[in-house]
Chains A and B, each alone.
Chain A
Amino acid sequence: MTRAESKRSAPPPGADVDFVQLLTPDGERVTHPDYSVDFDADELRGLYRDLVTVRKLDAEATALQRQGELGIWASLLGQEAAQVGSGRALRPQDMAFPTYREHGVLYCRGIDPIMPLGLFRGVDQGGWDPIANKFGIYTIVIGAQTLHATGYAMGINKDGKVGTDEGEAVIAYFGDGATSQGDVNESFIFASVYNAPVVFFCQNNQYAISEPLQRQTRVPLYQRASGFGFPGVRVDGNDVLASYAVTRAALDNARHGQGPTLIEAYTYRMGAHTTSDDPTRYRVASEVEEWQAKDPIARVRKLLEREGLADDEFFASVDADARTEAVKLRERVLALPDPDPTEMFANVYPNGSHEIDAQREQFAAYHASFAHEGGH
């Protein structure tokens, strides 16, 4: 066996390292010395509903892409717990900076799930109001949003909005592949030395498109934080309770002026990187099956059943509601209007610009020159 082969077949770095877990794949509650959650039955059922709904909406979006209605879609399948757990841990005043896969977080922030579909259908530029929703726009550039998050967090410090329960905190989402980006490492440095109230939430789904984790790092990702001078913690990213607890604690530390935290949510991307990707070309079926057994939704259902907090009727109604939501989403996607071509010139500058205005006019005239042809 060559050195390269031995590396490829080696388990991912830190696969043997413990993570914070509060709910096992079998649906058993376990305790952790540093983290705990105190959810009542309603809240647990609510988390279950969130998980099922975001999975269903995500599946509908994937289907829409396969049917030619979306250009591309990045599925969150398998990562629902990491997203719903961290998303629900945000307080209203907290600001989130997503990648392009944070559909679950977006849902938890109360944003209409149609928003990203317009982006991936190509009929808008993904523009929702980041301030109104406290949720940045989807960022396709890998890792760029960690810089935005860090800068925003440094601004919070300058505004003096830290140090109390009402303090603000920021969460930056990214993946394991992004940890190799300069942007992310620069963010770590600035966040650390400026003690910025930012939580770096890395969903380690084991693959940067086709590149496995062992090509990104020799050490568990969360341990990187210590080199930059702030705490890192690994959480079971398929455990919604632990994801919630760890994120809530890190955000609260940040809002109280304790500086950044790196959370590595250890999870698995059950689907393809995007609809343009074929994961069977770079990973084996047995690995997927292994993770299937750790499904984030199944374990919450087992918990609810085990503790008698929900009956079959509840589960059926959640499924039915999610289906209804999905159908509604489908119909709305199919009804999305095409934008006026000149819309791309809007919102370039807050107060307009002569150059952009001139370009818009030129472009409008160019289009108008085809008007008599009656086509589109």
Chain B
Amino acid sequence: MAINQFPLPDLGEGLTEGEILKWLVAEGDTIELNQPIVEVETAKAAVEIPAKWAGTVVKIHHPEGTVVNVGDPIISIDTGGGAAPAAESTDEEPKRQPVLVGYGPKSGPAKRRVRAAPAPAAVVEAPAPAVEAPAPVVKEPLAPVEEPVAPQPGGPVLAKPPVRKLARDLGIDLSTVVGTGPQGSITRDDLQGAVDGVTRPAPAPARVPGSRETRIPIKGVRKLTAANMVASAFTAPHVTEFLTIDMTRSMRALDRLKGQRDWRDVRVSPLLLVAKAVLLGIKRHPMINSTWSDKTEEIIVKDYVNLGVAAATDRGLIVPNIKDAGELTLRQLADAMNDLVGTAKSGKTPPADMTGGTFTITNVGVFGVDTGTPILPPGEAAILAFGAVREQPWAHKGKVKLRQVTTLGLSFDHRIIDGELGSKFLRDVGEFLTDPEAALLAWM
């Protein structure tokens, strides 16, 4: 069965809402094309809306007297398979989410939702026009609109050019923003919401006197993190592999680096070489740096690397990223990483730095643990955990010696990356960290 949702259209040049005056049909009714189904009153006029499809009324979404935003579904019609007009898409009811909004009284304007948190768990199937059209762009039929849910990262998103421009100026990745505009498009308010969502400080825990529990509102970074983790964990099938390596040569190389005049004032850590290893590894295995898009049924392989570095801050975990990290020299990379972490710790990371990441490193070693099974940031295909570097007994040149040993943990999206590719990438990262000079020469 094919169920089409009919969203309230803009009935009069720029209206944003309308009040359901009277339903002329009931659930279960069989209706004809253009049969009047509902009377709606807008700021300009009270009008009857004719049915866009023939079929059976499956659901009436709003009772009489409700003020509905333009673009919100008001009725679902079962067009019975092939009966829908050619240009309409079909959507199965079970995919839909329940309507989340409560509507205010008619006297006040209906409030739009501003939802900052990306929640890519529920993926919108774009209504794909079935009509062959010669022009490069086909207008999506206004009809079946889903509840606003975040689009799959990397997939096409609806936003007007000025909004796209604003997003770029703010450094916001549109694919991480929930659109609340018509057809799920992203509005300026949505961008503002996204900015507020990531910059708002975490609320203070509330302690009720005498209570033995502390209640912490789920907001801000915590909420965002939770949404991302849930979305990712239940969307991308994760696989994690581990590799324990001897990093002694890397540590010595770092010491030599620090001795050079150009590097005298730069703070360098093993993380820098891990980042370099990842960037080199991505060059050798570009598929690691990609996105799975259900929406477009594509794997989007990026030829730029926005390298995320997870940072623990007072406000929670944030993952700022270094744009186009693959283009940077080692020195530039070091500066960028120091800036990034410093800014993050001071809580001043601009939203621009937190969106659009393509690969992430999480430095769990700073907490003194060996490794972990990291969860992918939504839209990224792989993430590397870098454990603590400790002196451990290690078989070295036929003897057991104390060496600087660490464990790398690589989680990857098994939809894109098979065990073979993941293993090769991890092995290359390990190879570089085991002997950077040799790896560089070998890969030249």
Contacts and interface: CB of A to CB of B under 8 A. Distances in A.
A366 B49 CA distance: 38
B379 to A, nearest CB: 13
A63 to B, nearest CB: 4
B11 A334 contact: no
Interface in B1-45: 6-7, 9-13, 34, 44-45
B94 interface: no
A134 B370 CA distance: 82
A68 B142 contact: yes
Interface string A228-263: 000000000000000000000000000000000000
Interface stretch (B154-162, B230-238, B336-344): B154-162
Contacts of B175: 373
B174 A375 contact: yes
B138 A275 contact: no
B196 interface: no
Interface stretch (A178-186, A217-225, A284-292, A337-345): A337-345
Contacts of A60: 34
Contact of B135 (A67, A69, A340, A367): A340
A335 B131 CA distance: 6
A360 B138 CA distance: 21
Given A66-B48, A278-B47, A374 B156 contact: yes
A334 B138 contact: no
Contacts of A123: 139
Q: Is the interface of B mostly helix, strand, loop or mixed?
A: loop
B137 A72 contact: no
B159 A375 contact: yes
Given A66-B47, A280-B46, A331 B135 contact: no
A348 B161 CA distance: 23
A312 B133 CA distance: 40
A331 B155 CA distance: 29
Interface residues of A, number: 34
Contact of A375 (B88, B138, B141, B158): B158
Contacts of B276: none
Nearest to A326: B34
A338 B45 contact: no
A336 interface: yes
B87 interface: yes
Contacts of B165: 366
A276 interface: yes
Contacts of A330: 85
A66 B86 contact: no
A280 B47 CA distance: 10
B9 A67 contact: yes
**Which residue, B134, B154, B155, B164, has most C-beta atoms of chain A within 10 A?**
B164
A13 interface: no
A338 B34 CA distance: 24
A375 B175 CA distance: 9
Interface in A64-85: 65-69, 71-72
A340 B9 CA distance: 24
B11 A275 contact: yes
B184 to A, nearest CB: 11
A374 B291 CA distance: 13
A337 B85 contact: no
A340 B175 CA distance: 23
Nearest to B12: A276
Interface of B: 6-7, 9-13, 34, 44-50, 52, 85-88, 131, 133-139, 141-143, 154-159, 161, 164-165, 168, 174-175, 296, 300
